Amino acid sequence: MKPFITLLVLLSFCFNTTAQHLKGKVLDAETNLPIENVNVYWSNQDDGTFTDDHGEFDLKLRKRIRQDDLIYFTHVSY
């Protein structure tokens, strides 16, 4: 991971009657450009999602969120 490059994540919560999702956008902190193909996933869980070509993601929320749950963002170039 390049230490001088960080990700700016804009998160917004979207609640639906059938499912709950966490939607957001991943941007490069220096260029403010969207980053595609960022892996977004919960700690200790196999499923997750990737950002699209606009840096946007839609992650399904867990049924029970604990205080120690984490969301990870990984990319091969960062």
Enter the pTM of the model.
0.70
Distance of alpha carbon 56 from alpha carbon 78, whole angstroms: 17
Q: What is the pLDDT of residue 78?
A: 83
Burial label for 75, CB within 10 Å (0-12, 13-18, 19+), is middle
Distance of alpha carbon 24 from alpha carbon 6, whole angstroms: 16
Q: What is the pLDDT of residue 17?
A: 44
pLDDT digits (tens, 9 = 90+) for 35-72: 999 999 988 777 799 999 999 999 988 677 778 888 89
Residues in the chain: 78
The tally of CA atoms less than 13 A away on the side-chain side of residue 44 is 6
pLDDT digits (tens, 9 = 90+) for 9-34: 444 444 444 558 889 999 999 999 99
